[in-house]
Amino acid sequence: MKAYVEETESPAGPLVLAIDERGALLWLQLTDGDYERTVEQELEREGFKVGREPARTARAREELVEYCAGTRREFGLPLAMVGTEWQKAVWEALVRIPFGETRSYAEIAAMAGRPKAARAVGRANATNRLPVVVPCHRVIGADGSLSGFTGGTHLKTRLLEHEARVLAGTGPS
């Protein structure tokens, strides 16, 4: 198995993206976050041979650049969602949250078919390997608080502020 990595910018700072051999987005990591391992280390632990080929990562980079510029609100990349059926159901619900909007953990649980599983939504979000594209930053507490985000809530804040600025017409970042 091969994976191709590249670093690019995002509204939350630099990020590393990884694409698999089929061209599906395999991993995103905001490098300003607090993580135990890098994307490369995570992929190598899973048996991937990691390389760099800008032509293979071009589509993902282009879509992320468009998101950063405020010209893309939905992603069209194929996604390699690695997780349980429940996690995938949560992530599919996240993708349906419109750009610049938020939903509570309970609302996502209902969208995923388990209305009483708000806490389990939080756990599924914590294992999301594709933040920004699978927008777990758009999930907030029932009281409107910005609880939990892998890498730190400061990253969640930056992404939500970026989307609010784009919608307000005051610039991408």
Catalytic residue among 136, 155, 160, 166: 136
162's CB contacts (< 8 A; 6+ apart) are 11, 12, 68, 70, 172, 173
Q: Which domains, from first to last, does the chain contain?
A: 2-69 (3.30.160.70), 85-168 (1.10.10.10)
Q: In 3D, which of 79, 65, 66, 62 has the Cα closest to residue 133?
A: 79
**68 carries an active-site annotation:** no
Give one DSSP letter per residue of 37-103, joined into a string: S-HHHHHHHTTPEEE--HHHHHHHHHHHHHHHHT--SS----B---S-HHHHHHHHHHHTSPTT--E
pLDDT digits (tens, 9 = 90+) for 82-137: 999 999 999 999 999 999 999 999 999 999 999 999 999 999 999 999 999 999 99
pLDDT digits (tens, 9 = 90+) for 11-67: 888 899 999 999 999 999 988 887 889 999 999 999 999 999 999 999 999 999 999
